[in-house]
Structure 1
Amino acid sequence: MNLTYRACKSQIERQSYVSKEDMQQKLDIFLVGDRINQNQYEELTTQLKVA
Protein backbone atom coordinates (compact mmCIF):
# COMPACT_ATOMS: atom_id res chain seq x y z
CA MET A 1 0.00 0.00 0.00
CA ASN A 2 1.55 3.27 -1.04
CA LEU A 3 1.85 6.44 0.98
CA THR A 4 -0.31 8.58 -1.32
CA TYR A 5 -3.17 6.08 -1.13
CA ARG A 6 -2.96 5.83 2.67
CA ALA A 7 -2.85 9.63 3.05
CA CYS A 8 -5.87 10.11 0.79
CA LYS A 9 -7.80 7.34 2.53
CA SER A 10 -7.10 8.90 5.92
CA GLN A 11 -8.08 12.36 4.70
CA ILE A 12 -11.38 11.07 3.33
CA GLU A 13 -12.15 9.08 6.48
CA ARG A 14 -11.58 12.15 8.64
CA GLN A 15 -13.37 14.38 6.11
CA SER A 16 -10.31 16.58 6.23
CA TYR A 17 -10.58 18.32 2.85
CA VAL A 18 -11.76 21.70 1.59
CA SER A 19 -14.56 20.23 -0.52
CA LYS A 20 -15.45 16.93 -2.15
CA GLU A 21 -14.78 18.50 -5.54
CA ASP A 22 -11.29 19.56 -4.43
CA MET A 23 -10.51 16.09 -3.08
CA GLN A 24 -11.83 14.44 -6.25
CA GLN A 25 -9.57 16.66 -8.33
CA LYS A 26 -6.58 15.56 -6.23
CA LEU A 27 -7.53 11.91 -6.77
CA ASP A 28 -7.76 12.54 -10.52
CA ILE A 29 -4.30 14.09 -10.54
CA PHE A 30 -2.81 11.26 -8.46
CA LEU A 31 -4.26 8.70 -10.88
CA VAL A 32 -2.90 10.47 -13.97
CA GLY A 33 0.47 10.90 -12.25
CA ASP A 34 0.63 7.17 -11.38
CA ARG A 35 0.68 7.94 -7.65
CA ILE A 36 -2.34 5.64 -7.16
CA ASN A 37 -3.61 2.81 -9.36
CA GLN A 38 -7.05 2.41 -10.94
CA ASN A 39 -8.38 0.13 -8.18
CA GLN A 40 -7.26 2.54 -5.45
CA TYR A 41 -8.77 5.46 -7.38
CA GLU A 42 -12.13 3.72 -7.68
CA GLU A 43 -12.14 2.77 -4.00
CA LEU A 44 -11.26 6.28 -2.83
CA THR A 45 -13.76 7.91 -5.19
CA THR A 46 -16.54 5.65 -3.90
CA GLN A 47 -15.53 6.35 -0.32
CA LEU A 48 -15.52 10.09 -1.01
CA LYS A 49 -19.03 9.98 -2.48
CA VAL A 50 -20.51 8.34 0.62
CA ALA A 51 -18.56 10.49 3.09
Structure 2
Amino acid sequence: MVFEGAAFFLLQSRAIDSHRQYQFHSSLKALNNQLLFTIFDFTLSGSFFLGK
Protein backbone atom coordinates (compact mmCIF):
# COMPACT_ATOMS: atom_id res chain seq x y z
CA MET A 1 0.00 0.00 0.00
CA VAL A 2 2.78 2.41 0.93
CA PHE A 3 4.76 1.34 -2.10
CA GLU A 4 1.78 1.97 -4.38
CA GLY A 5 1.36 5.42 -2.89
CA ALA A 6 5.05 6.22 -3.42
CA ALA A 7 4.94 4.95 -7.00
CA PHE A 8 1.84 7.04 -7.70
CA PHE A 9 3.48 10.10 -6.18
CA LEU A 10 6.62 9.55 -8.28
CA LEU A 11 4.57 9.11 -11.43
CA GLN A 12 2.55 12.23 -10.69
CA SER A 13 5.60 14.39 -9.99
CA ARG A 14 7.26 13.09 -13.15
CA ALA A 15 4.15 13.97 -15.16
CA ILE A 16 4.14 17.46 -13.66
CA ASP A 17 7.85 17.79 -14.47
CA SER A 18 7.37 16.76 -18.09
CA HIS A 19 4.41 19.13 -18.37
CA ARG A 20 6.56 21.98 -17.04
CA GLN A 21 9.34 21.08 -19.44
CA TYR A 22 6.85 20.99 -22.31
CA GLN A 23 5.50 24.41 -21.34
CA PHE A 24 9.04 25.75 -21.09
CA HIS A 25 9.97 24.35 -24.49
CA SER A 26 6.82 25.65 -26.17
CA SER A 27 7.32 29.14 -24.72
CA LEU A 28 10.97 28.99 -25.79
CA LYS A 29 9.88 27.95 -29.27
CA ALA A 30 7.38 30.81 -29.41
CA LEU A 31 10.10 33.24 -28.34
CA ASN A 32 12.42 31.79 -30.96
CA ASN A 33 9.78 32.20 -33.68
CA GLN A 34 9.15 35.77 -32.60
CA LEU A 35 12.87 36.50 -32.78
CA LEU A 36 13.08 34.87 -36.21
CA PHE A 37 10.17 36.91 -37.54
CA THR A 38 11.62 40.10 -36.08
CA ILE A 39 14.98 39.44 -37.73
CA PHE A 40 13.22 38.54 -40.98
CA ASP A 41 11.14 41.75 -40.82
CA PHE A 42 14.23 43.80 -40.08
CA THR A 43 16.17 42.22 -42.95
CA LEU A 44 13.27 42.66 -45.32
CA SER A 45 12.75 46.33 -44.45
CA GLY A 46 16.51 46.88 -44.50
CA SER A 47 16.90 45.43 -47.98
CA PHE A 48 13.81 47.36 -49.07
CA PHE A 49 15.35 50.63 -47.92
CA LEU A 50 18.69 49.69 -49.42
CA GLY A 51 17.03 48.86 -52.72
CA LYS A 52 15.47 52.34 -52.89
Give the structure-1-normalised TM-score.
Answer: 0.32
Which of the two has greater helix per residue?
2
Give the structure-2-normalised TM-score.
Answer: 0.31
Q: Which has the larger radius of gyration?
A: 2
